[in-house]
Chain A
């Protein structure tokens, strides 16, 4: 019988009034892989951050090897042989791999990067990593960086490994390699926790699954007794009939025609690869895909925030009947063309709104340029703020309270309310219900449907397949920057979409860095 490596009892963590984790229990044995499953925003990462000493739980206890542990800093976590591989890599760009690996270590003896490199080579050989210890991080690809993170943890002789969404940035081949490594480490007697929201990975890799939902501990199941159905139900709760009324599109017309667009990110990696699709009026076009597959870049390209290499983005103006190419235009130029484009970005407080400003000032973001006066006109935005507070039932002390103080749902209402207020002809919303409670989510769905009925072309980027299937008319599936399929939401199945999401079409140059 294997021994407990780590056990959590009744862990609760709050950030202000937000409860990120409530009464979570979890137990991992040595030589076991545990999956921590939950939707985005269910509190998985917060929980793991408490084990690795980034945060401190408000209530509850952590036991390691059966003894009460006190983890107040990452340093304490190291001493308990806990190693975490964060989703956002914690590496110093300017340092070499070897320097990053020994960072913060208190080893005996003279400090010598060459010795470190030798040990790194040893570990690499043992697990089959391919890494140059002297290469600087800023010259590395994403998967190389992840390799450095994993070696860093192994170098420290961690017995408990936590990986936060490790496959989000990997190709299937790299994922397979990673899983092989993890299995080898499990056979070594290490306890491994992997945070994920991908069911097939859970089933393929882990021995045991712990499910979180909205920060609450739902339960633990052995993978052997689990299947996708059970896990999904635990993850999303009792099968809720979504009951989103979906009307048939009325007289759909091509509103936006995207043809063959390509886009590279700052590192020179192709993030959009030959993307073409059509968005029609009176229709909700869903975009499904694993996080980071190019959804953000796609919407930003349409909104004039991304430079494109090739292709065209044609907008058909319903008023004038004219056709405009939006490619490489600035947001201001797009507006001046008379394109009524509204965009609810993924990063609500960092992009869509200014967190430190009140609702009125945030309303002005879209409208402040109106008129020839050099002064701001505040009465219109004040009216709009009041209207949104009333109609969307925004909970706020007043219209001047900085919006960052509002809850996630209310922030989204403010943002979506403002975007809809400019009576768009094309509305793009990226993950508009992420982190929202059920009621707020439904309100958002209703708002989107309302827009659709008004004849707006709606583009909805979502992560919950049930919602996508129930809300949208057509669903575009994107994988690794390429369109892998377009399905009719009324007839498609979850499996079909899930397959398209993971079916990555690799061209020879899909990932070439220049």
Chain B
């Protein structure tokens, strides 16, 4: 009989899970620090397994790769600035639960707009004016790129994750298209634009090529922090993200907030595209953003949308990537080891959130529950 069948296989579940009420700041910081430490150790372990080098040398290489020379430190800061900037850019929309997976494309069209300015009107304007024109062009292009999925989301609830994801590849092809248009040889390589006149290039501050980029992102960090935490619009974003019902109840125009926020996210991506062109690459390829758009999503998420935490997350990820790059070049191995380590680190940090948010209980034996 069915019933007997059930009785035979009855079992208490071994564990059950409940939501934690709350951890103190100290507890949660401790857990997170342990997680990051464990992550770094695991990354080292994986590197050792992949390469067979001794662990001390791995760590030495990693530190060497990030902090070995002043130039390396500047490179680390520059990478961090770019990653941090894009992370900041995706955050307003993310906080509103708008799952924008299109930062890669949004930054890229921003770059494209800047390069186009340099290409078409590069000689007609003084450099400072050109840089400003580039900024506006980039902001406009990226905002449009983000705004299109945003409007469809607000109007028809079109799935924004899939929409923005597709927009990335449209952007990449668009870049390829323009490169083909601009480079008649068909070599697919645009090369540095305005190498002589340096029109549309950021000036070096104190002889440092990247200093201006870093300063701009630093200002952006503060602005985004203030915007999200202190401004009325930032507050509206939080309310819409937490509960659209409440937002409607207090008279927030949800559609308008969605579109506005997505445009802001897009515009910030544009700023990053502008920095990448004027402050670093002075050129563009379809792979110029190099996956930073995707990594930024993970950074924003694992930092819980907090711009200050994002600084540290970005440094951590860039440190891993630079360190891994150093190991790879030391051992003449493929440089992709950086991506491997980034992936592991992020997976570990994300999964650790579970232990911060939930408590796992072992079920105690029930008394008298074991009748035959």
Output the nearest chain B residue to A157 by Cβ-Cβ distance.
Answer: B2
List residues of chain A with CB within 8 A of the CB of B2.
79, 81
Could you tell me if B246 and A365 are in contact, using CB atoms closer than 8 angstroms?
A: yes
- Which one of B6-14, B204-212, B274-282, B308-316 contacts A? B6-14
Query: How far does the alpha carbon of A79 sit from the alpha carbon of B7 in the complex, in Å?
Result: 10
* Contact among B7, B226, B239 for A365, CB-based, below 8 A: B239
B230 within 8 A of A: yes
Query: How far does the alpha carbon of A316 sit from the alpha carbon of B19 in the complex, in Å?
Result: 48
List residues of chain A with CB within 8 A of the CB of B245.
347, 350-351
How near does chain A come to B353, taking the closest CB pair, in angstroms? Answer: 15
Could you tell me if A354 and B249 are in contact, using CB atoms closer than 8 angstroms?
A: no
Could you tell me if B251 and A350 are in contact, using CB atoms closer than 8 angstroms?
A: no
Contact A376:B230 (CB < 8 A) given known A345-B249, A366-B250: yes
List residues of chain A with CB within 8 A of the CB of B230.
375-376
List residues of chain B with CB within 8 A of the CB of A347.
245
B26 within 8 A of A: no
Which residues 357-378 in A have Cβ within 8 Å of B in the complex?
357, 361, 364-366, 368-369, 373-376
* Contact among A56, A352, A375 for B246, CB-based, below 8 A: A352
List residues of chain A with CB within 8 A of the CB of B19.
16
* Contact among A343, A352, A357 for B242, CB-based, below 8 A: A357
List residues of chain A with CB within 8 A of the CB of B354.
none
Could you tell me if B249 and A343 are in contact, using CB atoms closer than 8 angstroms?
A: yes
Most chain A beta-carbon neighbours within 10 Å: one of B11, B16, B230, B249: B249
Could you tell me if A72 and B13 are in contact, using CB atoms closer than 8 angstroms?
A: yes
List residues of chain A with CB within 8 A of the CB of B249.
303, 305, 331, 343, 345, 351-352
Query: How far does the alpha carbon of A64 sit from the alpha carbon of B11 in the complex, in Å?
Result: 17
A108 within 8 A of B: no
Could you tell me if B253 and A376 are in contact, using CB atoms closer than 8 angstroms?
A: no
Which residues 215-239 in B have Cβ within 8 Å of A in the complex?
226, 230-235, 238-239
Could you tell me if B6 and A351 are in contact, using CB atoms closer than 8 angstroms?
A: no
Could you tell me if B231 and A374 are in contact, using CB atoms closer than 8 angstroms?
A: yes
Could you tell me if B251 and A376 are in contact, using CB atoms closer than 8 angstroms?
A: no
A49 within 8 A of B: no
How near does chain B come to A107, taking the closest CB pair, in angstroms? Answer: 12
> B10-45 interface mask toward A, CB cutoff 8 Å, 1 = contact, 0 = none?
111100101101100000000000000000000000
How near does chain A come to B251, taking the closest CB pair, in angstroms? Answer: 3
Query: How far does the alpha carbon of A304 sit from the alpha carbon of B11 in the complex, in Å?
Result: 52
Query: How far does the alpha carbon of A405 sit from the alpha carbon of B20 in the complex, in Å?
Result: 11
Query: How far does the alpha carbon of A81 sit from the alpha carbon of B252 in the complex, in Å?
Result: 49
A148 within 8 A of B: no
How near does chain A come to B223, taking the closest CB pair, in angstroms? Answer: 12
Contact A375:B231 (CB < 8 A) given known A350-B243, A354-B243, A357-B242: yes
* Contact among B6, B239, B253 for A79, CB-based, below 8 A: B6
> A299-317 interface mask toward B, CB cutoff 8 Å, 1 = contact, 0 = none?
0000111000000000000
B369 within 8 A of A: yes
Could you tell me if A354 and B246 are in contact, using CB atoms closer than 8 angstroms?
A: yes
Output the nearest chain B residue to A300 by Cβ-Cβ distance.
Answer: B249
How near does chain B come to A29, taking the closest CB pair, in angstroms? Answer: 18
Interface size class of B (residues with CB under 8 A): 35 or more
B365 within 8 A of A: no
Query: How far does the alpha carbon of A186 sit from the alpha carbon of B196 in the complex, in Å?
Result: 93
List residues of chain A with CB within 8 A of the CB of B11.
70, 72
Output the nearest chain A residue to B242 by Cβ-Cβ distance.
Answer: A354
* Contact among A56, A64, A331, A356 for B250, CB-based, below 8 A: A331
How near does chain B come to A298, taking the closest CB pair, in angstroms? Answer: 15
Query: How far does the alpha carbon of A365 sit from the alpha carbon of B252 in the complex, in Å?
Result: 10
Output the nearest chain A residue to B248 by Cβ-Cβ distance.
Answer: A305
A461 within 8 A of B: no
B3 within 8 A of A: yes
Could you tell me if B232 and A350 are in contact, using CB atoms closer than 8 angstroms?
A: no
How near does chain A come to B59, taking the closest CB pair, in angstroms? Answer: 40
Query: How far does the alpha carbon of A373 sit from the alpha carbon of B233 in the complex, in Å?
Result: 11
* Contact among B6, B18, B235, B252 for A364, CB-based, below 8 A: B235
* Contact among B7, B232, B246, B253 for A351, CB-based, below 8 A: B246
Could you tell me if A376 and B232 are in contact, using CB atoms closer than 8 angstroms?
A: yes
List residues of chain A with CB within 8 A of the CB of B234.
376
Interface size class of A (residues with CB under 8 A): 35 or more
Query: How far does the alpha carbon of A180 sit from the alpha carbon of B249 in the complex, in Å?
Result: 42
Which residues 66-118 in A have Cβ within 8 Å of B in the complex?
67-70, 72, 76, 79-81
Output the nearest chain B residue to A70 by Cβ-Cβ distance.
Answer: B10
Could you tell me if A80 and B253 are in contact, using CB atoms closer than 8 angstroms?
A: no
How near does chain B come to A302, taking the closest CB pair, in angstroms? Answer: 13
Output the nearest chain B residue to A73 by Cβ-Cβ distance.
Answer: B13
List residues of chain A with CB within 8 A of the CB of B3.
64-65, 79-81
Could you tell me if B251 and A330 are in contact, using CB atoms closer than 8 angstroms?
A: yes
Which residues 467-502 in A have Cβ within 8 Å of B in the complex?
none
> A316-359 interface mask toward B, CB cutoff 8 Å, 1 = contact, 0 = none?
00000000000000111011000000010101001111111100
B330 within 8 A of A: no
> A394-414 interface mask toward B, CB cutoff 8 Å, 1 = contact, 0 = none?
000000000001000000000
How near does chain B come to A345, taking the closest CB pair, in angstroms? Answer: 7
Query: How far does the alpha carbon of A61 sit from the alpha carbon of B366 in the complex, in Å?
Result: 11
List residues of chain A with CB within 8 A of the CB of B233.
374
List residues of chain A with CB within 8 A of the CB of B252.
332
How near does chain A come to B16, taking the closest CB pair, in angstroms? Answer: 8
Could you tell me if A369 and B369 are in contact, using CB atoms closer than 8 angstroms?
A: no
B332 within 8 A of A: no
* Contact among A68, A345, A376 for B371, CB-based, below 8 A: A68
Output the nearest chain B residue to A336 by Cβ-Cβ distance.
Answer: B251
Could you tell me if A68 and B235 are in contact, using CB atoms closer than 8 angstroms?
A: no
* Contact among B10, B12, B246, B250 for A350, CB-based, below 8 A: B246
Contact A375:B251 (CB < 8 A) given known A79-B6, A351-B245, A357-B238: no
Output the nearest chain B residue to A303 by Cβ-Cβ distance.
Answer: B249
List residues of chain B with CB within 8 A of the CB of A303.
249
List residues of chain A with CB within 8 A of the CB of B22.
405
How near does chain A come to B357, taking the closest CB pair, in angstroms? Answer: 12
List residues of chain A with CB within 8 A of the CB of B232.
368-369, 373-376
How near does chain B come to A299, taking the closest CB pair, in angstroms? Answer: 11
Query: How far does the alpha carbon of A331 sit from the alpha carbon of B248 in the complex, in Å?
Result: 8
Could you tell me if B239 and A354 are in contact, using CB atoms closer than 8 angstroms?
A: yes
Query: How far does the alpha carbon of A375 sit from the alpha carbon of B225 in the complex, in Å?
Result: 12
Could you tell me if A332 and B246 are in contact, using CB atoms closer than 8 angstroms?
A: no
Output the nearest chain A residue to B6 by Cβ-Cβ distance.
Answer: A79
How near does chain A come to B306, taking the closest CB pair, in angstroms? Answer: 14
Query: How far does the alpha carbon of A81 sit from the alpha carbon of B251 in the complex, in Å?
Result: 49
Output the nearest chain B residue to A305 by Cβ-Cβ distance.
Answer: B248
How near does chain A come to B134, taking the closest CB pair, in angstroms? Answer: 27
How near does chain A come to B280, taking the closest CB pair, in angstroms? Answer: 32
Query: How far does the alpha carbon of A369 sit from the alpha carbon of B236 in the complex, in Å?
Result: 10
How near does chain B come to A147, taking the closest CB pair, in angstroms? Answer: 26
Output the nearest chain B residue to A353 by Cβ-Cβ distance.
Answer: B246
List residues of chain A with CB within 8 A of the CB of B231.
374-376
How near does chain B come to A41, taking the closest CB pair, in angstroms? Answer: 21
List residues of chain A with CB within 8 A of the CB of B6.
70, 76, 79-80
Contact A332:B253 (CB < 8 A) given known A79-B2, A368-B232, A375-B232: yes
Query: How far does the alpha carbon of A69 sit from the alpha carbon of B6 in the complex, in Å?
Result: 9
How near does chain B come to A331, taking the closest CB pair, in angstroms? Answer: 3
List residues of chain A with CB within 8 A of the CB of B12.
70, 72
Contact A79:B5 (CB < 8 A) given known A331-B251, A343-B249, A352-B249: yes
11 contacts between A and B (CB under 8 A): A68-B371, A70-B10, A80-B3, A330-B251, A350-B245, A350-B246, A351-B245, A351-B246, A369-B232, A374-B232, A405-B22
The 5 nearest A-B residue pairs measured at CB: A331-B251, A332-B251, A70-B10, A79-B6, A354-B242
Give B residues with C-beta under 8 Å from A. Answer: 2-3, 5-7, 10-13, 16, 18-19, 21-22, 226, 230-235, 238-239, 242-243, 245-246, 248-253, 369, 371
17 more CB-based (< 8 A) A-B contacts, given A67-B7, A79-B2, A350-B245: A16-B19, A56-B16, A70-B6, A76-B6, A79-B5, A79-B6, A330-B253, A331-B251, A335-B251, A343-B249, A352-B246, A356-B242, A364-B235, A368-B232, A374-B232, A376-B232, A405-B22
